């Protein structure tokens, strides 16, 4: 049986990447992540979570950008790589994510406990 950690590693390796506009954080809003993904992120205080939510932001976003970029959740990685989650500035990878893979990721997110980052 494949563990959730193995699935996450597989998905991360196969989600295409692209370059964002430097300084843009338009897709960095409140998101959810699996418990396994959350285990890799630094814990934030209730006050930090509340402040980020009030700003419709992410508690891991600073004035220097995403503080957890290498460990960012799957949903963050999908932004701009999928027709259903387009970059608001039209940025995208050369090849968008495979639709079957995207469906598997979405199913994984529906079937796992998701918590607010």
| Angle subtended by helix axes 4-14 and 99-111, to nearest 10 | 150
- At residue 2, the pLDDT reads 85
- At residue 4, the pLDDT reads 96
User: Which residue is it, tokens 């891991």?
Assistant: 60
- Residue 56 phi/psi, 5-degree rounding, is 50, 45
Asked whether residue 2 is assigned to any structural domain, the reply reads yes
Asked whether residue 61 is assigned to any structural domain, the reply reads no
Asked whether residue 52 is assigned to any structural domain, the reply reads no
Domain count, the chain: 1
Say which DSSP state 44 is in: -
Q: How many CB atoms lie within 10 A of CB 13?
A: 7
Please state, in angstroms and rounded to a whole number, the distance separating the CA atoms of residues 44 and 117: 9
Please give the model's pTM, rounded to 2 decimal places: 0.92
Asked whether residue 45 is assigned to any structural domain, the reply reads no
Residue 1: pLDDT above 80?
Answer: no
Taking only the tens place, the pLDDT of each residue in 56-106 is 999 999 988 999 999 999 999 999 999 999 999 999 999 999 999 999 999
- At residue 83, the pLDDT reads 94
Give me the domain span that covers residue 113.
1-16+29-40+66-117
Q: What is the mean pLDDT of the chain?
A: 95
Asked whether residue 53 is assigned to any structural domain, the reply reads no
């Amino acid at each position: 049986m494949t563990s959730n950690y193995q699935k996450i590693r597989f998905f991360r390796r196969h989600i295409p990447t692209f370059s964002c506009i430097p300084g843009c954080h338009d897709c960095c809003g409140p998101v959810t992540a699996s418990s396994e993904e959350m285990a890799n992120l630094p814990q934030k205080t209730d006050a930090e979570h509340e402040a980020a939510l009030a700003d419709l932001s992410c508690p891991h976003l600073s004035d220097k950008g995403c503080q957890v970029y290498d460990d960012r959740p799957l949903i963050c990685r999908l932004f701009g790589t999928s027709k259903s989650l387009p970059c608001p500035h039209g940025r995208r990878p050369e090849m968008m994510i495979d639709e079957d893979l995207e469906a598997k990721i979405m199913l994984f997110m529906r079937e796992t406990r998701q918590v607010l980052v």
